[in-house]
Chain A
Amino acid sequence: MDPITEGVIRAINLIVTGDREVFSIAALSLYISICSTLLACVWSIPVSAALALRSFLGKRTVKGLFNALIGIPTVALGLYMYLLLSRSGPLGYFQFLYTPNGIIIGQCILVTPIIVSFSTSALESVDPDLRMLARTLGASGYQVDAAVLREAFWGVTLAIVAAFNRAFAELGVAMMLGGNIRNLTRVLTTAIALETAKGEIALSIALSFILLGIVMSLSIAINLARRPS
């Protein structure tokens, strides 16, 4: 039997038997990525609402900046965040380096441009006449914004899902800020890299199956839930 087939069979076995290590790594990955995505939403959605629905000086520059940051290399971001969070760095006091919280902060920053850019696009794609219509029907300024947000709901949801997928599947930030410490900061991507380097192909494949399974299931579920308006 060739090593890949053998790896796949062992991977399926690990998943089916509920291997404790595999599932604890997957659970930690989910926890970190969900936290970082939700935390990033707290500021990213208001920022995208302001970019899409308000006029201010430098708006195009700010939008351009967020668009450019979508493709930031995770290793570079991980390095900058490492310098900030390391003991001698400006945020060293908080001792976030090599903790799940450190990875959460790094991933938060990583996914912010994705949520801001995609949500802004979704909000801008709502028919501008809808704002005027809502005004004539008695909506206040905030109610008009709420109406636009409601119309852009699925676009904003897709932005959040894209952000989650990016956080869940990235390696650089998790490796630089988490350090891949077993039972503490080891997530799916860092574990796959480590196990592959060690020659533990079966475990790597099992972990990659879970990684891909979660990313694809989420995207499929969102597409199924989305109903034409």
Chain B
Amino acid sequence: MSAIETLGLSKRYDSLQALDEVNVRAPSQQVTSVVGVNGSGKTTLLKILAGLELPSGGKVFVNRHEVGPDELRAHCTMVFQKSVMFSGTVYDNVAYGLRLNRSGSGDVRERVRSALALVNLEGFEKRKARRLSSGEQQRVALARALALEREVLLVDEPTANLDPANAMIIERAIKESAKSRIVVLSTHNLPQARRLSDRVIHLYRGRVVEEAEPSRFFTSPSDERTKLFIEGELQY
């Protein structure tokens, strides 16, 4: 089964150790959630996996092959917490990456259509992306990433500040997309992690302190800090 893995991954920003010897594995056809308080290193981990930042140490493997940032960008795509839209239509936005890959226009059309269908935005193709609501923009951002059909989908806090209806559509699309790819989800929304995840990883101050299936993670965590985090009492 294909997977994305890290071995001894570290990231240091001046005096801040954002990630410290992180070893994680996210297999295909599963949603692997990375949970933790703000500043625990979730976004840094995802940015390194997306090839957007260089680690200070450690390695990343895709399907057991060590890969650098350029290769990672070819394997992965990422949806950010704050959705950023290109000027132009929803279609232009979702087609952007496909056009860079020089896909044929018929193929682009078809993949845009099915990606938009996955996030319930059929018929939105001609709408100006920046005039949509923030929830709709986040759905466009997810469709834009899904349209590329990359092996790994990295999703950073996708439903932060969204209303329940948009959050539900996004969660459903993430779950659906995990059937055919590796999904790594960063969230501090524990009910969401519980609903979506096949595996949950707790990051605390840049270190993995707990990794388990949701049933065990949320009911009988082995690490005291995870217990406190679930109870909402973890200091940071």
Contacts and interface: CB of A to CB of B under 8 A. Distances in A.
Interface of A: 127, 129-130, 132-139, 143, 147, 150-151, 228-229
Contact of A229 (B73, B88, B100): B88
B96 A137 contact: yes
Contacts of B68: none
B80 A137 contact: no
Given A129-B82, A137-B100, A229-B88, 19 more contacts: A127-B84, A130-B84, A132-B80, A133-B80, A133-B84, A135-B51, A135-B73, A136-B51, A136-B78, A136-B145, A137-B97, A137-B148, A138-B73, A138-B77, A138-B101, A139-B97, A147-B86, A147-B96, A229-B130
Interface of B: 50-52, 73-74, 76-78, 80, 82, 84, 86-88, 96-97, 100-101, 128, 130-131, 144-145, 148
B56 to A, nearest CB: 19
Contacts of A136: 50-52, 73, 76-78, 145
B77 A150 contact: no
Contacts of B101: 138
Contacts of A143: 100
Identify which of A130, A136, A151, A229 gathers the most chain B CB atoms within 10 Å of its CB. Answer: A136
Contacts of B86: 130, 147, 150-151
Identify which of B78, B80, B86, B131 gathers the most chain A CB atoms within 10 Å of its CB. Answer: B86
A228 B80 contact: no
A123 to B, nearest CB: 14
22 contacts: A129-B84, A130-B84, A132-B80, A133-B84, A135-B51, A135-B52, A135-B73, A136-B51, A136-B78, A136-B145, A137-B96, A137-B97, A137-B100, A139-B100, A143-B100, A147-B96, A150-B86, A228-B131, A229-B87, A229-B88, A229-B128, A229-B130
Contacts of A151: 86-87
Given A132-B52, A150-B87, A151-B87, A138 B82 contact: no
Contact of A138 (B87, B88, B128, B148): B148
Identify which of A127, A132, A137, A151 gathers the most chain B CB atoms within 10 Å of its CB. Answer: A137
A119 B205 CA distance: 42
B97 A129 contact: no
A139 B100 CA distance: 7
**Top 9 closest A-B pairs, CB basis?**
A229-B87, A137-B97, A136-B78, A129-B84, A133-B84, A138-B100, A138-B97, A136-B77, A130-B84
A35 B167 CA distance: 54
Contacts of A129: 80, 82, 84
A158 B88 CA distance: 19
Contacts of B73: 135-136, 138
A132 B51 CA distance: 10
Contacts of A150: 86-87
Identify which of A127, A130, A229 gathers the most chain B CB atoms within 10 Å of its CB. Answer: A229
A150 B130 CA distance: 15
A130 to B, nearest CB: 5
Contacts of B74: 138
Nearest to A140: B100
Contacts of B97: 137-139
B233 to A, nearest CB: 33
Contacts of A134: 96
A35 to B, nearest CB: 31
Contacts of A132: 52, 80
B157 to A, nearest CB: 14
A150 B99 CA distance: 15
Identify which of B51, B52, B76, B87 gathers the most chain A CB atoms within 10 Å of its CB. Answer: B87
A143 B88 CA distance: 17
A133 B74 CA distance: 14
